[in-house]
């Protein structure tokens, strides 16, 4: 009922009355083919419905033109956005995305390594890791394989692997400054996943500026970058006798949860009773009910840099390790 035999170069060559090489060259941009043969080949190809086989091509060229993209979770609105931009940017450079979403597992440290073996078997030309905790073993393995890796907002477990990250430390500083300038006196922090790079750095910058300003941290709770975790953290911090009047929440996804909780459960208003500063700058659809002061991660810049570093790593076999830091800035969102 449906044709099953794939059409190959050879088929086209036969019909066009030329050699396989001629056909191959016709489909290779910048090869030397006579105009006349090119046309004959293209006609034949069109008649047969020929489609080049990228897999076979990979075998000979040793380049799959596939990039493995690994992401830990899609909870926050931020990573789907990054993935979308990344996919489009890579495609415009002729690369496809082999997507890998790690399972949610309880134990902080996933066994990503084993699972990733599958992706590596597909001979990806490069790897982008999005905010996953990457083991030393994996990093070493990629290095020995010679596959360029770019860590996006991940901690590098070893030297010699490229990374791109927002200036999370500076973001933490900005958050602290904003709360202090707003006149807050009891400033608390709601943390993300404890060993995540974003969490660690944002907290560091935050505490640094707090310290330099002679302000003591009023309270701390862990939200684990999850909605429910943040709700619990908010309750924990705010159902005591004297509650904080300012909270830096490690990302917007949690910040929304905190604001929800303050308003609905505790009858508090933001920012009158408690000022909130988040991180990421997620789309308006997420914060518009409240307005939100947040530290913006520039997704576009992040992606552009990542692609640049990755492609550079790919075609220069010398694998020059690069570490790029993308600036962040404070954004004040008004609820319209």
Partner DNA sequence: TTGTACGCGTTATCAT
Partner DNA sequence: ATGATAACGCGTACAA
**Contacts with its own copies in 191-210 (CB under 8 A)?**
none
Does 37 bind DNA (CB under 7 A)? Our answer is: yes
Pick the closest to residue 248 from 183, 185, 202, 316 (CA basis).
Answer: 202
The answer to whether 324 and 105 have CB atoms below 8 angstroms apart is no
User: Is residue 220 within a helix (H) or strand (E), and if so which, with residue range?
Assistant: strand 219-222
Kindly tell me which residue out of 31, 34, 39, 59 binds its own copies, with binding defined by CB under 8 A. 59
**Could you say whether residue 57 binds DNA (CB under 7 A)?**
yes
- Select from 290, 296, 310, 326 the one that contacts its own copies (CB under 8 A): 290
Binding-site member from 115, 137, 195, 316 for its own copies (CB under 8 A): 115
CB atoms within 10 A of CB 56: 12
| Candidate residues 239, 265, 323, 332; the one interacting with its own copies per rule CB under 8 A | 265
Mark out the alpha helices in the chain (DSSP H runs): 9-16, 20-26, 35-48, 54-61, 78-92, 112-121, 136-145, 168-181, 197-212, 227-238, 252-264, 284-287, 299-315
> Hunting for tokens 């949860």 — which residue is that?
257
Specify the DSSP element, H or E, that contains 324: strand 323-326
HSE, side-chain direction, 13 A CA sphere, residue 295: 28
Judged by CB, which is closer to its own copies: 58, or 213? 58
Torsion, Cα 207 210 213 219, to 10 degrees, reads: -130
User: For its own copies, what does the binding mask look like between residues 215 and 234, x meaning CB under 8 A?
Assistant: ------------x-------
- CA–CA separation, 330 and 275 (whole Å): 14
Which one of 30-38, 149-157, 177-185, 193-201 is the stretch in contact with DNA (CB under 7 A)? 30-38
Q: Does 18 bind DNA (CB under 7 A)?
A: yes
**Options 1-9, 155-163, 166-174, 263-271: segment touching DNA (CB under 7 A):** 1-9
Choose which of 31, 34, 47, 54 interacts with its own copies (CB under 8 A).
Answer: 54
Using the minimum distance from each CB to its own copies, give the nearer residue, 6 or 327: 6
- For residue 267, report the phi and psi dihedrals to the nearest 5 degrees: 65, 25
Asked if 19 touches DNA (CB under 7 A), the answer is yes
How many whole angstroms separate alpha carbon 163 and alpha carbon 321? 8
Q: Which two tokens stand for residue 18?
A: 């030329």
18's contact among DNA, its own copies, none, with CB below 5 to 8 A by partner kind, is DNA
Window of 16-24, 104-112, 198-206, 213-221 that interacts with DNA by CB under 7 A: 16-24
Taking the complex as a whole, the smallest distance from the CB of residue 142 to its own copies amounts, in Å, to 9
Tell me the pairing of strands 219-222 and 246-249. unpaired
Q: How far is the CB of 307 from DNA (least distance, A)?
A: 23
CB of 143 to its own copies, least distance (A): 6
Q: What are the structure tokens assigned to 297, written together?
A: 């991660």
Of residues 14, 52, 266, 312, which one binds DNA by CB under 7 A?
Answer: 52
Write out the H or E segment, with its range, that includes residue 277: strand 275-280
Regarding 111 and contact with its own copies (CB under 8 A), the answer is: no
Question: CB-wise, 34 or 74, nearer to DNA?
Answer: 34
Q: Are 230 and 170 a contacting pair, CB within 8 Å?
A: no
Binding-site member from 56, 137, 240, 289 for DNA (CB under 7 A): 56
Residue 173 CB, shortest distance to its own copies, in Å, is: 27
Q: Which residues bind DNA (CB under 7 A)?
A: 6, 8-10, 17-22, 24-25, 27-28, 32-34, 36-37, 50, 52-53, 56-57, 59-62
């Amino acid at each position: 009922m449906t044709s099953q035999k794939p059409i190959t170069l050879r088929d086209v060559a036969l019909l066009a009355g030329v050699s396989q090489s001629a056909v191959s060259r016709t489909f290779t941009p910048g090869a030397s083919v006579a105009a006349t043969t090119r046309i004959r080949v293209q006609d034949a190809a069109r008649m047969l419905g020929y489609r080049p086989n990228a897999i076979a091509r990979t075998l000979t060229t040793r380049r799959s033109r596939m990039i493995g993209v690994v992401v830990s979770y899609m909870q926050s609105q931020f990573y789907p956005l990054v993935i979308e931009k990344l996919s489009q940017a890579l495609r415009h450079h002729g690369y496809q995305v082999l997507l890998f979403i790690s399972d949610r597992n309880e134990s902080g440290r996933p066994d990503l390594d084993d699972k990733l073996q599958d992706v590596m078997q597909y001979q990806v030309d490069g790897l982008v890791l999005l905010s996953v905790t990457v083991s030393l073993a994996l990093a070493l393995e990629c290095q020995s394989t010679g596959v360029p890796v770019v860590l996006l907002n991940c901690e590098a477990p070893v030297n010699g692997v490229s990374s791109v990250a927002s200036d999370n430390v500076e973001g933490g500083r900005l958050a602290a400054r904003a709360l202090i300038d707003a006149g807050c006196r009891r400033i608390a922090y709601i943390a993300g996943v404890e060993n995540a790079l974003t969490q660690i750095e944002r907290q560091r910058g935050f505490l640094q500026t707090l310290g330099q300003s002679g302000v003591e941290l009023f309270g701390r709770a862990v939200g684990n970058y999850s909605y429910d975790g943040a709700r619990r953290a908010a309750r924990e911090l705010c159902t005591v006798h004297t509650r904080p009047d300012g909270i830096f929440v490690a990302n917007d996804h949690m910040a929304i949860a905190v604001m929800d909780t303050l308003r609905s459960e505790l009858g508090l208003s933001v920012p009158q009773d408690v000022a909130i500063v988040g991180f990421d700058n997620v789309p308006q659809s997420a914060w518009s009910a409240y307005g939100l002061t947040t530290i913006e991660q520039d997704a576009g810049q992040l992606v552009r840099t990542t692609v640049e570093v990755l492609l550079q790593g790919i075609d220069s076999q010398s694998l020059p390790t690069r570490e790029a830091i993308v600036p962040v800035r404070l954004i004040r969102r008004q609820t319209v």
